Structure formats: structure tokens, C-alpha cells
Amino acid sequence: MQKLFTAGQIGNVKIKNRIFMAPMGITGESDGSYNLSGINYFEARAKGGAGLIITGANIASTKYEDRPCNELSGFHQVERLAMLIERCHAYDAKVCVQLTPGLGRMVFTDPFTPPYSASECQSFWFPELKCKPLSVEDIHYLTDKVGYSATLAKAAGADCVEVHAYGGYLLDQFHSTLWNKRTDAYGGSLENRLRFTLEIVEAIRKNCGKDFPIIVKFTARHGVEGGRELPEGVEMARIFEAAGVDALHVDVGCYEAWYKAITTVYSDFAHQADAFTAVKNAVKLPVLGHGKLFDPALAEQLLADNRLDYIGLAHELLADPDWPNKVKEGRTYDITPCIGCNECLYAGFSGKHYYCAVNPLCYAEKDYQLPRPCPKLQRSVLVVGGGPGGMEAALAAADRGFAVELWEKSDKLGGNLWAAGLPTFKHDVVRLIDYMRTQISSRCITVRLNHEATAEEIIAGGFDKVILAAGSDAIMPPIPGIENAVVSSDVLTGKVKAGKNVVVVGGGLVGCEAAAYLKESAEKVTIVEMLPDILLTVAHSRNNDQHLRDMLAERKVGVVTNARVTNIAKDSLTYEQNGQSQTIACDQVVVAAGYRSNNALESALEGKVSDLTVVGDAVAPRKILTAIHEAYHAIRVMQ
């Protein structure tokens, strides 16, 4: 990794390597300043080896909208920011503070007050609200406030600042004719539409001096009808360069195509490469980019090919803060992979702090550490089930110094992750299986495959702790002719060959993913769903939802909703919709009707073992996050 770990420079700031933590919002104190959990969170990524840390957006004023994340509008907020920067500097990581005048039509916290924007346009999260245009006086006020906010960042010890001008947020609303219909000096030509951002750059220069580096993060391509196309994005880059900014941070997408901005499990590697490459070829400034670049070899190749100057990692650094150090040391097998589930994003937009499905320590770096191993307190732990919860429990118990056995009834570890991860567009989940199995093999854990646990054997074992992580089994509903159908997991794992004309019963997450996968080989695939729409029962981030829906549409998967299946024959499926019976000819019916907990051992063991905990799908079929977190904490709190 010759290029990845060479030093770089932005303005007069030297950066020890070419890896930066991309900006992500976090929670803060009630006054908008950073809290201690947030400071520990950033410190962990600096300790992990990132050369540059870019904070999430710090709003310069709440005059026009609620605070979205952190706020940097007054001197009292400098103290905590300074603490954050000082701790990151201890690991030779530079800190860039991202500043924003606001979110505009993207305000997601207030469903009652029309937000401000460049022009009258629709609020994204609350479509019934029409945005109010900012006046010229409002624009000048916000410009001055961002300039002042930059002085506060500099006073706190920041190495540079980044202007938050991307992703369909307020400044990008001014940049784009999609939302900017103004006829004054801030609308019309591209130069006019960029005026607000350029005046902010000017205000920062005036307040902080010509030697204080400024990065502008902007969207080079929206990827939606009527949005910005790449040629205009390249022209914007040239204008920013002429304005004297020190680096450009290139982004793609907006909330109407959120998955083009924020990677999902369905995303291709380097899916923003066309945009940052085009900008790199057009300017002489350092270019920062991201978009699923966490494969070390890919990151190195992009740098070697001069397609960008700095590799951005966002959610991957939530999954594993030590990615840079592990890559530098050649320990890529030890990297916890991001699986693109966006549970982090879903939590943030639900009013919580960031969570990471595969890293229970995310945003709890000091609070949730495992107790140090103590030989005098060694315990024996049995884990039943080798899915994600079972593997996590076994790893945590081994790391606490306990004697651990892991029993799995099948011939391999992974559980239902295999069905989830084997579709071609979900191999990030297989990477998680590979990682966890590698970690299991590196610990002193006794693994017994092809071993179905019985209550009698468990009780006889005399274990100090028993973790039941037996997962869940697919439901086959009592539909006449159900014996003619196959369960989705058997098709996804290749146990059953896919048909050419397939009907999928169930439009939840599993059914939709199965349908998208089956269409790669089938001539026709149709989803039949009881509810008024697909994915209604799924609690996941909107960008994942958008991406999956678009994938189904692109692959021309048929969807029938409000339909109750009444019969399955060898060559057809019959359903009732609006009181009418309809029949679809097919050569295969695949059932994705949900899962049922495999928890039969719980009642047989209650009161008969010294300490029993049920985790993951064995409690109720849920998510990878719940399985891993429940398992980790069950071991963490053991006395």
C-alpha cells in the first residue's frame, strides 16, 4: 500500500496518509456542543489511523431552522470542540470542521413549520409543507454567521474547515435549478447560483486569513431527473478552484436518490468514481472522494491511477475504526466489514445516536468495553447456534477469558446470514460471515458442527452461562397446495434451482431481495403481497428502501399488492384481489412469508441452568444488529 500511506497536503496542512473519515452527523449536548461520547467516538477513529477527520455538519445559526446535529454559533461551544480536536491531534490526525448555513428543504425534525430554501419548493420529509425563500438579507446574515463559525473552529484548533454545500442541502438548493427559481443575483446563471457559497468562502477567508485551508464539499451529479449532470459539476469545480479554495470534496446524489450519495448493501464498489475522476481531471486542487472504497486494493489502485487524492471512509469506520492501521499492518483479514445495512443512518434519523450493526462499541467506545480478563473469574460459556448472535457471543466470551463452546446443528457457521448474503448484490454480508469465522478460528473456542443441542446435554454440561442463539426458521403458511412451493432460503442458497417463471409470495425484505436475485436468471418474476405495498413491514433506512425499489423496477419485477394467495398448484398460483380471483401461470412458487423463532430449548432450560440468556432471532425474528448487540451485551454484563 505505497500510495495509501504517503503524506499529502491540503493548503499548508500536512496529512500523514491519504485516508480521511468522511463527515457524518452525530448527537450533541442540548446547546449543540459536542458531548463526551462524541469526542470519544472521533478519538477512536483518530487512534485507528485516519489521517484526516472531517466532522459532521455544525450549523452556524438556528435562526431559520432547528439544529440538525451540532452547532457552532457561540464561544461557549468552542471548549468541547477543542477537546475533540486535541484528542485527535494526539494521534497525529488532522481535524476539519464542517460548517453549514442549514439544511433548507431537508429539515427533518419539524413537521409543522415550513422550512426555508432558495425558492418556494416542496419540503422533502414533509411534502405538504412549501418552503419559504430566503431573502437577500437572510443570505447575508447566514454568510456572516458561517464566517464567524469558522473563527470559532479555528480558535478550537481546527486544521481547516469544510463548507457543507452538497447533497441537496441548503447551499446545494441554491446551486441547482431543480430547487432554485430565483431571478435575483442568487439565481439564474451557474455563477449566480454559486454566489451564496462563494460569499461564504470569502467570509471565511476574511475572518480566518488566507492561510487557513478551506475545503468545499459539493455534488457533481445528482442522478435524478432534472438534477445536475456531471458537466455542470465539473464546471462548478473550476469555479471553486478559481475562487481559491484549497481542496474539493466530491459527492454524488441527493435525497431523491439517497443511495447514490450514501452507500447501501446493494451498491457497487467505487460507485461515485466517475464523478471524482472527472473533477480530478479538470482541476489542480486535491480531490477527496468516497463511495464504497473500503477494499484496500481498490483504494490503492484509485490513488495510483491519479483518480483522486484522498480516500474517504464513512460507515466502514463505524464498523471498524482501526481500518487504516490494520491495512497498514497487513491485517486485512481482521477488518470488520461494513455490510451496508445503514442501521447507523436509520438510528440517526430516528432521533438516536449512531449505532453500527456489526460494532456494538460504536458511539460507546469507552462505555461498552468488555471487562478485562481475570483468571480468578473464569467462567464456562456454552453458545447454542452459530449465526451472527452466536458467533458474537462466543467471541466476546473468549475475549473475556472464558472457556467457550459453540454448538451448531448444521455443517457450517453463519446461520441465516448465508441466505441473506449469497445474492450477487449482497456479498457484503458474506464478508461478515468470513470475518466472523476467521475471528472464531483465531480464538480458543471449541466449535462443534453438526451438533444439535438437547436440553439434557446442556444441563449435564454444568455451564456457568448458556446463550441460546438458535435463530429462526422460515414460515410456510397454511395455503392450499403449499407443498408445491419452495422456501426462499433454499433458492437463495442454491439448494433448489431457480425457475424461469417465478412467483414470490411475500413482499417484505426477504421476498423483494429474492425476487431481484431470481430475475438475474428467470425470464419473469412476480411478487404477490397481501398489503397495499411492498416493504411496508420493513424498518430500514430510506436509502436502502429506494435502492431496492429501483432495483426491482430496473429488473422489471412484477408486483401485485392487496392480494391474498388462495391456492398454489404445480404450474400456477391463484390469489384474490378486490373480491376477484386471479391466476398466474408459473413454473415455481417461492415463499418468503417471514420467520419463526427457534426457541424450543428456552422453556426446557429455564431454572435448570445457572444463567440463561436468549438472543437474536431466537427471541423474535429481527435484524443482524439486534442479534450481535444482544449477544455482545449478554456477555459484557456477566458477573
The H or E element containing residue 355 is: none
Do 193 and 277 touch, CB atoms closer than 8 A? no
Q: How far apart are CA 601 and CA 468, in angstroms?
A: 8
What Cα–Cα distance (Å) separates residue 325 from each residue in 17, 56, 150, 310, 622? Answer: 11, 23, 31, 16, 33
Residue 267 is placed in which grid cell?
451498491
169 tagged catalytic: yes
Answer left, alpha or beta for residue 60, where phi above 0 means left and psi between -120 and 50 means alpha: alpha
Do 123 and 114 touch, CB atoms closer than 8 A? yes
According to DSSP, residue 332 is labeled G
* Active-site entry in 116, 166, 169, 266: 169
Burial class of residue 382, CB neighbours in 10 A (0-12, 13-18, 19+): buried
Three-state DSSP string of 219-238 = EEECCCCCCCCHHHHHHHHH
Torsion of CA 190, 196, 199, 203, to 10 degrees: -150
3-state SS, residue 247: strand
Other CB atoms within 10 Å distance of the CB of residue 523: 10
The H or E element containing residue 165 is: strand 160-165
Among candidate residues 249, 205, 224, the one with its CA nearest the CA of residue 57:
249
Among candidate residues 13, 28, 120, 98, the one with its CA nearest the CA of residue 69:
28
3-state SS, residue 418: helix
Q: How far apart are CA 292 and CA 299, in angstroms?
A: 9
Active-site positions?
169
